[in-house]
Amino acid sequence: MFCKVLQDSSSKAESFKKNMNKVISSNSIISNIDKYYDFAKEFIDESRIFIKEKRNNSHKIELKSDNSLVTFIDKSLEERFRRKVKETYPEHGVLGEEFPEYNLGAPLRWVIDPIDGTQNFAYGLKSWGIIVALHLNGVPILSIYDLPDLNETLSAIKDKGVYRNEVKIESLKKEMPLNDKNSSIYISRPNNFKRNSQFEMFYEITKDYQNINISGSSIYGQVYTILGAFDAGIEWAVKLWDIAGIQLFAKELGLAYELIENFKVSGVVDGGFTVLFGKPSVVASLKKLIETAK
Ligand code: IPD
Ligand code: CA
Ligand code: CA
């Protein structure tokens, strides 16, 4: 018995020490967060220059096994980002769309989609961009979403608010849309539902809303939902890099963020995600609609 008490108290001490270490290391992360932000911003600025120089050259476009496009620019940007992290923060992890994960299991993990909306980019539309976020134990603590052709950059740091082109967003139009079915809704492409054998759900969600926007670019839909141009957004069956910062943006502005599903996808560590975000009342109606249609 005595022995047991001793063991209990020593394992308690161990776990206390572990917890303290966690607190200390998260304190040091918080104190470094501005440095991490500058690091990510520098990458975004360099990427804009790189894209400007290279996009008019006939960049190679390939078809991936899932029938989506990837360009030389997608791959080059992700390689450049990985190189930067390895040089500056070799202990951090990197999850990106185009290459295998670096430092799997690292508590501080960069999540990057070098070009989101590649098809739009390759076809000359303006709705595409670069997504970078830093996650601490699975939760985003900083994020930059950059739309170079629209000159729109949305950034956020945990507990410091959201910035549009480096100017803090002080308040957002939060009033209800005139009526629920008149809301403007951003939604993922129908193909995302189809490839998950959920096409009927797409029909159920969209049939009664007057203003449905399918841009084919997650970054575009998320940025303009956060800015209030869409009342709510639905990302259906996407990957973590497609939604790397949305939870942070929503939280910092007091908007709703709901994880509807996190499902297994073979070969993808984090699986697939279905999430809702935006004005709380509209998100609540969408959630109810989805639950009823399931
Ligand atoms: C795609 C876009 C799109 C989403 C797809 C993604 P990519 O990303 O984010 O909005 O619906 O699921 O694959 O391939 O252009 O980076
Ligand atoms: Ca993407
Ligand atoms: Ca991409």
pLDDT tens series, the chain, 294 aa = 333 334 444 555 565 445 544 544 677 877 899 999 999 999 999 999 999 999 876 568 889 988 888 999 999 999 999 999 999 999 999 999 999 999 999 999 999 999 999 999 999 999 999 999 999 999 999 999 999 999 999 999 999 999 999 999 987 666 666 788 889 999 999 999 999 999 999 999 999 899 999 999 999 999 999 999 999 999 999 999 999 999 999 999 999 999 999 999 999 999 999 999 999 999 999 999 999 998
CA distance 115 to 137: 24
Q: What is the pLDDT of residue 200?
A: 97
The answer to whether 59 and 76 have CB atoms below 8 angstroms apart is no
Q: Which atom of ligand 1 is nearest to the CA of 69?
A: 14
CA 1–ligand 2 middle distance (angstroms): 57
Q: What is the pLDDT of residue 50?
A: 97
Q: Which strand (E) or helix (H) includes residue 155?
A: strand 152-157
The answer to whether 292 and 284 have CB atoms below 8 angstroms apart is no
Distant-in-sequence, close-in-space partners of 37: CB < 8 Å, separation ≥ 6:
142, 144, 155, 157
Pairing, β 152-157 against β 139-147: antiparallel
Give the bridge partners for 116, in sequence order: 129
Q: What is the pLDDT of residue 39?
A: 98
Q: Which atom of ligand 1 is nearest to the CA of 220?
A: 10
Q: What is the pLDDT of residue 60?
A: 83
Atom 11 (ligand 1) nearest CA: 188
CA distance 143 to 158: 9
CA 281–ligand 2 middle distance (angstroms): 27
Q: Which atom of ligand 1 is nearest to the CA of 235?
A: 11
| Domains of the chain: residue spans and CATH | 40-168 (3.30.540.10), 180-293 (3.40.190.80)
